[in-house]
Amino acid sequence: MSLVVPLALLGGCGFRLRQTPAMPFERVALTGFGARSPMEAELRQRLSEVAQVVDAPAQADVVLQALGDRRERSVVASTSAGQVRELQLRVSLQFRLLSPGGRELIAPTTLMLSRDMSYRETGALGKSQEEGELYAAMQADVVQQVLTRLSRADAGRGAPARPAASAAAG
């Protein structure tokens, strides 16, 4: 009973849990991702909630093509003795959305998130776990941004977009 009141108040203010938005297409193919890409796995899982994810681009209404999918880690601060004190973690995805015929629906787009993380050699095991959690959170945010962009894509119902070949030439 005591849990119902706070939940009712949240609903009254317009709060909603993050959901996968509805897509303007029924079938999507994912291409260009590396083998066992965590980004592809999460995109595939989230997209399957609202559309059918197919393996062959010819069977799809749209093709999400990964142009780059990276996780990076760099040292941003160290002591005079060379011990690492702060790391920067980055997750980036560069993608575009195409029709099966190659018409560009979303131009090449890069999404990148970064987080700074303090580091101490004495807590390396805990920091490794923290690093994994930060990567997972950043990846989830990137996937949500991709889904939002896909939900707004014109999957063949509007003015013709420029062909993918001309985008590469320009």
- Does 160 fall in a domain? yes
What CATH code is carried by the domain that includes residue 85?
3.30.160.150
Number of domains in the chain: 1
pTM (2 d.p.): 0.78
- Token readout for 23 is 């897509």
Enclosing H/E stretch for 57: none
More reliable by pLDDT, 106 or 5: 106
Domain annotation covers residue 15: no
pLDDT in tens, 55-91: 999 999 999 999 999 999 999 988 888 888 899 999 9
In a domain, 9, yes or no: no
75: containing domain: 24-169
User: What is the edge-to-edge ordering of all strands in the sheet holding 104-118?
Assistant: 52-54, 27-31, 62-78, 84-98, 104-118
- Check residues 7 and 56 and name the one with the higher pLDDT: 56
Write the CB contacts of 128 (distance below 8 Å, at least 6 apart in sequence).
none
Domain assignment of residue 158, yes or no: yes
Domain annotation covers residue 19: no
Contact by Cβ (8 Å): 141, 113: yes
